[in-house]
Structure 1
Amino acid sequence: MRYDASFIGLYILDVLGRPVSRIPDRGNVEFIDEIRLTVAGTAGGTVIDAAKLGLKALAVGAVGDDEKADFVLMTLEKFGVETAAMQRISGVPTSASILNVRPNGDRPALHVRGASDHFDVADADYDRVLDAPIVHLGGTGLLSRLDGQRSVNLLAEARRRGRTTTLDLLAANASTAHLVLPLLAHVDYFMPSIEEAQDISGRLGPEACAEFYLGHGASACVFTLGGDGAYFAHRDGTRVRSPAYAIDVVDTTGCGDAFDAGFITALHRKMDLETSLRFAQASAALVATGLGSDAGIRSFEHTMETMRNLPVKG
């Protein structure tokens, strides 16, 4: 196979500013410390972090025909991501968000759905987009054309070909359940945030959520718990909690995407479960120390060093 992992789904341009304590009245101006443009989304942010961690990564998604698309494609290529499977759709804008990052790291967002709602994977493209042992689908609920049976077919075909499949969401809630639950029978690792997991399932806590999703067919659940770390549950009965690292949070944008990239990298390198969770946690911790979904992560070696040396929360 040509790639280590294929990252299919949501690609977004993020415009971030920090720290934003308030929006100025009328036409007034507030001065902030930093503004950045980054490639984000549950596929876009993840593929860049995975490439920085050393994976040969394939990007599969859509952009529009605007200046934002130019930036997204240029940035993917800058980090060595293969963009041949990216679709450029005329007449629509590239999906984009404006994030006002608060001093505590919270990030209220304004979002234009754009090209990702027009993205689909044709059956004829399966050979190209599934040309990797690991296939990540990111952004269910914000992929109007691909969501539903098209995603079921895609993941089922990936599993039929022997691929390891991972699934993550963005801004999912109870109304997304009808899109998510049919996918789980074809998912090896379901990796939402605990907030999304709770909102979709109506259950509280990682243990109850895991039982719900495993009962609906997922092979394993890996929930990110924010400052409480991560929780892993497998249908074979394995249950593991991994504590968060002790860091000074700058911005939590993209931490879930970085966790996904770290975990996928660990799968690629065949790390044991506990090391995989620690490595994914270290990836997320690094991103939280800077602004944007690609902050902090430098390389596989630097992330390994961080995993070994950064203190965990007591």
Structure 2
Amino acid sequence: MRYDVSVIGLYILDVLGRPVTRIPERGNVDFIEEIRLTVAGTAGGTVVDTAKLGLRSLAVGAVGDDEKADWVLLTLEKHGIDTSAMQRLKGVPTSATILNVRPNGDRPALHVRGASDYFDVPASAYDQVFDAPIIHLGGTGLLKRLDGPASAILLKEAKKRGRTVTFDLIAASPETLGIVEPLLPYIDYFMPSIEEARDMSGQSSPDDCAKFYLDRGAACCVFTLGGEGAFYAHKDGTRLKSPAYEVKVVDTTGCGDAFDAGFIAALHHKMDVETSLRFAQASAGLVATGLGSDAGIRSFADTLKVMKEWKIKG
């Protein structure tokens, strides 16, 4: 196969500044330490990190026909990512977000939906898009055209071709369940945050949330628990909670995307479940140490070293 992973979904340009304690009054200016541009989104952030972790990665999404699109595509290519399946759409802006990162890592956001609302994967692209053993769909909930039946068709085709499907979403609410539930039978690894899992299911504990999604067809749930670590629940009955690392958090932007990328890399390298969770958590922890969704991660070897050396919360 041409690729190790095909990453489909939400691609965003993030403009981040830190630390932001207030918005200046009138037209005044405050000075901050750092401003960055990054490729982000539940697909964009993930594909950058899979490439950094050494995987041959295909980006599958949409940008507009503007200066933001130029930067996004150039940056993806700098990371060695194949952008030939990226759609450039005329008449709409590239999806973008301004994030004001607070000293505690919180990140209130202002978002322009843009090109991702108009993105779909045509059947004519299937041979390229599915030319990878792992297919990641990221961004359900903010993919207006792809959300719903089009995603079910896409993931059903992935499973028909024998691919492993990993899945994450964004901006989940109780209403999002109507989009997600029909997809669950085609998902091998369902990977939302515990907050998203709770909001959609109405359940409380990780175990009860997992049962909710497993009963509706998901093969495995992998929930990120923030400072509490991660939780793994497989339909075969396996349950595992992995504690978090001790990390000095700068910015939590993209930590979930990095966790996804780390877990995908672990699947690629056929790590056992416990090691896969630890590697995914190390990936997420590295991103939390800097500003933006591409911070921290340098390589597979460096992340593996961090996984073995970082202190686990007691």
**TM class, shorter-length:** over 0.9
Report the 3-state secondary structure (helix = DSSP H, G, I; strand = E; otherwise coil) of the residue aligned with 1:83: coil
Alpha-carbon shift at residue 43 of structure 1 (Å): 0.4
Is 1:34 the counterpart of 2:41 in the alignment?
no
Q: How many residues align?
A: 314
Q: Which amino acid aligns with 2:269?
A: R
CA distance in 2: counterparts of 1:252 and 1:143, whole angstroms: 22
Q: Which amino acid aligns with 2:78?
A: K
1:116-155 aligned within 5 A? 116-155=116-155
Q: Which amino acid aligns with 2:81?
A: V
Counterpart position of 2:178: 178
Alpha-carbon shift at residue 80 of structure 1 (Å): 0.3
Is 1:244 the counterpart of 2:218 in the alignment?
no
TM-score by length of 2: 0.99
Is 1:235 the counterpart of 2:235 in the alignment?
yes
Alpha-carbon shift at residue 219 of structure 1 (Å): 0.1
CA distance in 1: counterparts of 2:171 and 2:249, whole angstroms: 21
Counterpart position of 1:207: 207
CA distance in 2: counterparts of 1:223 and 1:25, whole angstroms: 40
Is 1:290 the counterpart of 2:300 in the alignment?
no
Counterpart position of 1:158: 158
CA distance in 1: counterparts of 2:16 and 2:170, whole angstroms: 17
Q: Which amino acid aligns with 1:176?
A: T
Counterpart position of 1:270: 270
Report the 3-state secondary structure (helix = DSSP H, G, I; strand = E; otherwise coil) of the residue aligned with 1:274: helix
Counterpart position of 2:197: 197
CA distance in 2: counterparts of 1:21 and 1:209, whole angstroms: 35
Q: Which amino acid aligns with 1:234?
A: H
Residues 22-53 of structure 1: per-residue CA shift (max 9 Å, x gap):
11111111110000000000000000000000
Q: Which amino acid aligns with 2:288?
A: A
Find runs of 4+ consecutive structure 1 residues off by over 4 angstroms: none
CA distance in 2: counterparts of 1:89 and 1:142, whole angstroms: 17
Q: Indicate the percent of aligned positions where both proteins have the same amino acid.
A: 74
Q: Which amino acid aligns with 1:300?
A: F
> 5+ residue gaps in structure 1?
none
Alpha-carbon shift at residue 207 of structure 1 (Å): 0.9
Please report the RMSD computed on the Cα atoms of aligned residues, expressed in angstroms. 0.5
Report the 3-state secondary structure (helix = DSSP H, G, I; strand = E; otherwise coil) of the residue aligned with 1:128: helix
Q: Which amino acid aligns with 1:195?
A: E
Residues 86-114 of structure 1: per-residue CA shift (max 9 Å, x gap):
00000000000000001000111110000
Residues 202-224 of structure 1: per-residue CA shift (max 9 Å, x gap):
11121110010001100000000
CA distance in 2: counterparts of 1:179 and 1:13, whole angstroms: 25
1:80-99 aligned within 5 A? 80-99=80-99
